[in-house]
């Protein structure tokens, strides 16, 4: 039995029925990881503790019914603080940072019994769409090592696609779960803003960041999402509401669906392959007898410039804490305090991060705040209003996840072209809406993705429509 190819559901059943042990599962993954180090998926591993936890899991009286993820290995994106394990955020700035506490997401998965194998590589401070901005080098797509796995959660996506784990955590600020899911042929969900605690998740853009899950199928995604969701008093933006049973809801017959179609918007891009794959997805819905309705999202095309004002502005504020004094990288041979600030930040941050800090600082500066940041927030409200109006008539909205398949590593050097990778994923973040990407179609032997965007706190409906779509 190839344990590494099993889905999360199959691993849970296998452990419950004692077909294999947690130790066997962990050791098997460690062996597979060791044979594929060239993918550059891990920033750090936690193999010794993982084996120790697996032994404890096998000898415990906790059964899968009580702790459903008991003994299940998984991988965390290196943006989630993990007590005693290096959490670098893909940056030289935090290359020596070992948190004294764990993020709420990490704690909740541990309480459910899961075992962390290590921390996945990522774009520096989650800033990137290709996993090429990492201090530790680019991650390679397991489906084709010449291609990007997407970003910023590229390491998390590659870990699942390469069979290093059955699921992984990621974060999504403008598409950083869904785009890698599309590039690697996986399911990736970004829940409603506030559904998953951001405590212990290193901040990029606080009003946009949200933790989520990458997995091999919808049911696995629903299972894992269940255990990271819920109110957290440590996070002021956390929503105090009951968490539905996502695992049951994704297969339920109680949901009625009307899917919003933005056909005119997709055709306006003039990309034949994009339009063709979207048309195939519409035909899939028709075959499944799922109701559809044409909708208008007039301000969606403004999402990209709005995002690249708001996100850098928030990153400029959040990253000001890295000053070379309290924690993180500290430059040597400095002349004075100001020199320490300059050199620590100049040497500790990579080019993309520094670029976004400068853009954000400029947008927030006196004389430009009204012209850029304030105007961007107004347009953000218009984009959110478009979704509010659309959801009066539909239960979800179907869009492509990306404009194409995974591109070659190093092939996009124009930053504007790289930013355009997020054109279809950013709107959900601006509206704080849940969104999911599932595999659909392919081009040049690489997978494509289709995404469904749902109304606030409607993850169950979103998982349900995705499951119906995927099972056909």
**SS3 state at 38:** helix
Active-site annotation holder among 22, 53, 77, 130: 77
Could you tell me which of 167, 430, 460, 196 has the C-alpha nearest to residue 314? Answer: 430
What would the two tokens of residue 291 be? 């109701």
Count of beta carbons in the 10 Å neighbourhood of residue 1: 11
Nearest 5 degrees, angle CA 215-CA 126-CA 299?
Answer: 90
Residues 6+ apart with CB under 8 A from 76: 82, 105, 106, 116, 118, 119, 120, 156, 168, 169
Could you tell me which of 464, 407, 450, 449 has the C-alpha nearest to residue 150? Answer: 407
Residue 268 catalytic? Answer: no
What would the two tokens of residue 376 be? 């961007």
What is the distance between the alpha carbons of residues 34 and 345, in angstroms, rounded to a whole number? 34
Active-site annotation holder among 153, 176, 229, 396: 176
Q: How far, in Å, are 100, 138, 153, 314, 429 from residue 133 at the CA level?
A: 26, 7, 12, 19, 22
Could you tell me which of 448, 168, 169, 204 has the C-alpha nearest to residue 319? Answer: 204
Residue 385 catalytic? Answer: no
Residue 44 catalytic? Answer: no
What is the distance between the alpha carbons of residues 430 and 428, in angstroms, rounded to a whole number? 5
Active-site annotation holder among 129, 152, 247, 460: 152
Query: Which residues are catalytic, by number?
Result: 77, 152, 176
């Amino acid at each position: 039995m190839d344990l590494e190819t099993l889905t999360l559901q199959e691993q849970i059943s296998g452990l419950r029925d004692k077909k294999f042990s947690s130790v066997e599962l962990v050791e098997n993954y460690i062996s597979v990881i060791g044979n594929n180090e060239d993918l550059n998926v891990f920033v750090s591993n936690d193999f010794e503790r993982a084996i120790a936890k697996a032994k404890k899991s096998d000898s415990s009286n906790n059964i899968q019914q009580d702790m459903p993820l008991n003994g299940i290995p998984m991988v965390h994106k290196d943006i989630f603080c993990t007590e005693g394990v290096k959490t670098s955020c893909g940056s030289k700035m935090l290359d020596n940072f070992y948190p004294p506490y764990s993020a709420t997401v990490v704690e909740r998965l541990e309480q459910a019994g899961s075992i962390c194998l290590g921390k996945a590589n990522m774009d520096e401070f989650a800033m990137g769409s290709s996993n090429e901005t990492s201090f530790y080098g680019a991650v390679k797509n397991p489906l084709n090592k010449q291609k990007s796995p997407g970003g910023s959660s590229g390491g998390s996506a590659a870990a699942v696609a390469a069979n290093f784990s059955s699921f992984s955590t990621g974060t999504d600020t403008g598409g950083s779960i869904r785009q890698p899911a599309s590039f690697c042929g996986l399911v990736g969900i970004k829940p409603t803003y506030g559904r998953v605690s951001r405590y212990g998740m290193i901040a990029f853009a606080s009003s946009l960041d949200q933790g989520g899950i990458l997995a091999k199928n919808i049911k696995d995604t629903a299972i894992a999402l269940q255990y990271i969701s819920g109110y957290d008093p440590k996070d002021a933006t956390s929503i105090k509401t009951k968490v539905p049973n996502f695992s049951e809801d994704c297969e339920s017959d109680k949901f009625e669906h009307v899917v919003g179609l933005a056909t005119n918007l997709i055709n306006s891009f003039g990309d034949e392959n994009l339009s063709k794959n979207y048309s195939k997805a519409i035909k899939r819905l028709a075959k499944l007898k799922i109701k559809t309705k044409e909708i208008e999202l007039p301000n969606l095309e403004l999402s990209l410039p709005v995002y690249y004002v708001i996100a850098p502005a928030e990153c400029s504020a959040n990253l000001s804490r890295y000053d070379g004094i309290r924690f993180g990288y500290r430059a040597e041979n400095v002349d004075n305090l100001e020199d320490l600030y300059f050199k620590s930040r100049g040497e500790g941050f990579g080019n993309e991060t520094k670029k976004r800090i400068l853009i954000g600082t400029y947008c927030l500066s006196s004389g430009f705040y009204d012209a850029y940041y304030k105007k961007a927030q107004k347009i953000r409200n218009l984009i959110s209003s478009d979704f509010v109006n659309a959801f009066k008539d539909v239960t979800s909205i179907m869009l492509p996840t990306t404009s194409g398949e995974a591109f070659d590593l190093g092939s996009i050097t124009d930053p504007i072209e790289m930013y355009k990778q997020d054109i279809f994923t950013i709107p959900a973040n601006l509206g704080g809406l849940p969104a999911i990407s599932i595999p659909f179609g392919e081009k040049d032997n690489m997978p494509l993705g289709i995404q469904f965007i749902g109304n606030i706190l409607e993850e169950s409906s979103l998982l349900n429509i995705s499951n119906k779509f995927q099972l056909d």
